[in-house]
Structure 1
Amino acid sequence: MNASMLSYILFSCLLLSVQAEYCGVREIIRYTDCLLNNSSPSCPRGQTAISFSNAFFVEQRGHELACFVDGTKHLMENNKSSNVVIERLHSTFQAQLDRNLCKRLAHGHQCQYETKGNVTEFLEKILTTYQEIDKFKS
């Protein structure tokens, strides 16, 4: 094995380990904040309006990611128009769940609910969960 092959293998391992811990934390925090507040200049214009009348369930600990996937899918299906922010959140959560990308979240693959809530509580749960991850990452 020559030096260039060894360096390639080491670089590939490093790249895979970085990718395996990709949680998209800052992106998720920013998009969730946009949905909750719709006031940040970094929010896509006209893409953050959602209906807040839907009933949601607050997930059990250890099933957060599966519930985030289900909840954002529910938001996409029940929104009258296409919403890029919700679609991005959903695809990010789905990728994290499918590829086990965010090691800090438990990976129960089925959503288990505790209590009823609403869309605002659901989004606030996403926000606080990823803010906690960001705090430990820093």
Structure 2
Amino acid sequence: MSVELSHREFLLALTADAVMQARIARDQLYDVIIPSLPPLRRAIAEAVKRHLNADALLTEPFLHDLEILIDFMRVEIEKDVQTTWIADEHNVHGGHHQRHFDTRTHSLAVAVGHLIGLYEAVTEVIDTVQAERLMDDLLQG
């Protein structure tokens, strides 16, 4: 009984983390991501936002949409990142690249980091539940 309870508590903790990450991601969507995109390019962000407000948070379709949004936002961020070469005679390669983010791009990069945190938290819950089902099937069959 205590093993089941500890497992349930573990799963509850994972789920609580996913819900917390969803709250942070929702704020980032409302405050940073959606306002920064032109209206015609907000569709996937709006779809993810709708999942956050429903019971669809811990589902594979949500993860799929979230992954698409993360990839889309990475491309958007890369468009505005400026890269310069910094020469350095003490560097084996003769120097290094340095990336410069403007304020908007930096805010988007931070927001995408939070979306990635949500993706990882939801994936962990789904994978844990799936592993539990597989284990139960093995033990019963």
With the shorter chain as reference, the TM-score category is 0.3 to 0.5
**More contact order relative to length (CA 8 Å, sep ≥ 6):** 1
TM-score (norm 2): 0.43
Q: In terms of Rg, which structure is larger? A: 2
Q: Choose between structure 1 and 2: higher helix proportion.
A: 2
